Amino acid sequence: MNEMGLDLTGKVALVTGGSRGLGKAIAMAMAGKGAHVVICGRKQENLDQAVADLHEKGVEVAAFRANVGLPDEVANLFQSIEARFGKLDILVNNVGMNILTPSVAMADDGLWDKIITTNLKGTFLTSRGAVPLMRKVGRGKIINISSIAARKAAMGMGIYCVAKAGVDMLTRVLAVELAQDHITVNAVAPCMVRTQFSQPFWSNESLLKQIAAGIPMGRIAEPDDVVGTVLFLSSDLADFVTGEIMTVDGGAMA
Ligand SMILES: NC(=O)c1ccc[n+]([C@@H]2O[C@H](COP(=O)([O-])OP(=O)(O)OC[C@H]3O[C@@H](n4cnc5c(N)ncnc54)[C@H](OP(=O)(O)O)[C@@H]3O)[C@@H](O)[C@H]2O)c1
């Protein structure tokens, strides 16, 4: 076993959607372990804000604007990373979104494409983009942020559930395809995490109580509850773990 454990010194890590929420917490934790961290997102103002917030906490990250659902922007993102750092060791596919809608009675058919593209195709595009840079290093770690919604249908989140189920299978498929390259591919599946994404749920006190009642540990997750598992999977400690979906849910799925 590598005694350095969770040390990420000298590693280059891309955290997609690192400008707020869970991605920002992961970016901060990885930088704290010595990694050179790159974040990306669609909106420059969110990236600027995140870079400034993290700088105030003594953490320096690089930020590149990119929509993970758009192949050209993903290609530019990896070109920028190669130009700046020359390699990539870790990819955290953290971008995810949902628009609350029933599936069958969906008012706008475009929602299907938007939700599937952002959550699933985006995870594929960035993984595909990362592989050549990881092959240069001779190894790599891909960690996909899935959800317990991949295994448990939730009202208003049907398309998101389907997309995240796709992310789980993509995790297994890429784990098998990339094992020979010493690139591990795993996923982390949280329950509700207190971020902007889930605010409509946790900001309603009675709804929050109802959700917490379904979680044996009696509360929803904070971003920091999820970070440790992502760090583990991105470290040398997890070198022989691949194709795994690690649930971080206070026992909700137990
Ligand atoms: N919060 C929860 O309850 C929960 C539970 C289980 C799993 N998850 C998963 O955890 C991950 C992080 O979610 P979160 O709660 O931290 O979400 P969040 O607070 O909404 O943050 C999403 C981040 O992704 C960026 N983003 C959104 N669409 C993008 C795109 N197409 N291309 C590039 N960046 C994009 C956003 O920045 P811009 O808006 O500037 O693009 C932002 O930085 C997601 O995969 C989500 O599905 C969340």
Strands 90-93 and 61-65: unpaired
Q: Measure the CA–CA gap between 216 and 128, rounded to whole angstroms.
A: 37
Check residue 5 and give its pLDDT: 73
Whether residue 202 lies inside any domain: the answer is no
What's at 150, amino acid-wise? A
Check residue 3 and give its pLDDT: 52
Can you spell out the DSSP letters for 45-66? HHHHHHHHHHHHTT--EEEEE-
Whether residue 198 lies inside any domain: the answer is no
Whether residue 81 lies inside any domain: the answer is yes
Check residue 210 and give its pLDDT: 97
What's at 207, amino acid-wise? L
Q: Is 222 helix (H, G, I), strand (E, B) or coil?
A: coil
Whether residue 217 lies inside any domain: the answer is no
Q: Measure the CA–CA gap between 74 and 39, rounded to whole angstroms.
A: 13
pTM for the whole thing?
0.98
What is the Å distance from ligand 1's center to 139 Cα?
A: 27
Ligand 1: residues within 6 Å at CB?
Answer: 16-17, 19-23, 40-43, 46, 67-69, 94-97, 118, 122, 145, 147, 190, 192-193, 195-198
**Residue-wise pLDDT tens digits, 227-244:** 999 999 999 999 999 999
**Residue-wise pLDDT tens digits, 139-158:** 999 999 999 999 999 999 99
- Measured between its terminal Cα atoms, the distance across the chain in Å is 30
Whether residue 80 lies inside any domain: the answer is yes
Element (H, E) at 231: helix 223-234
**Residue-wise pLDDT tens digits, 104-118:** 988 898 999 999 999
pLDDT, average across residues 1-24:
89
pLDDT band at 4 (very low <50, low <70, confident <90, very high): low
Q: What is the CATH number of the domain that holds 170?
A: 3.40.50.720
> Is the pLDDT reported for residue 20 higher than 90?
yes
**Residue-wise pLDDT tens digits, 56-97:** 999 999 999 999 999 999 999 999 999 999 999 999 999 999
Catalytic site includes residue 55: no
> Is the pLDDT reported for residue 2 higher than 90?
no
CA 194 from centroid of its chain's CA atoms: 15
- Report which protein residue has its CA nearest ligand 1's atom 5: 192
Whether residue 203 lies inside any domain: the answer is no
What is the Å distance from ligand 1's center to 69 Cα?
A: 13
Whether residue 5 lies inside any domain: the answer is no
Residue 67 tokens, joined = 């929509």
Q: What range defines the domain where residue 172 resides?
A: 12-193+223-248
- Report which protein residue has its CA nearest ligand 1's atom 25: 17
Q: Among residues 64, 78, 124, 160, which one is catalytic?
A: 160
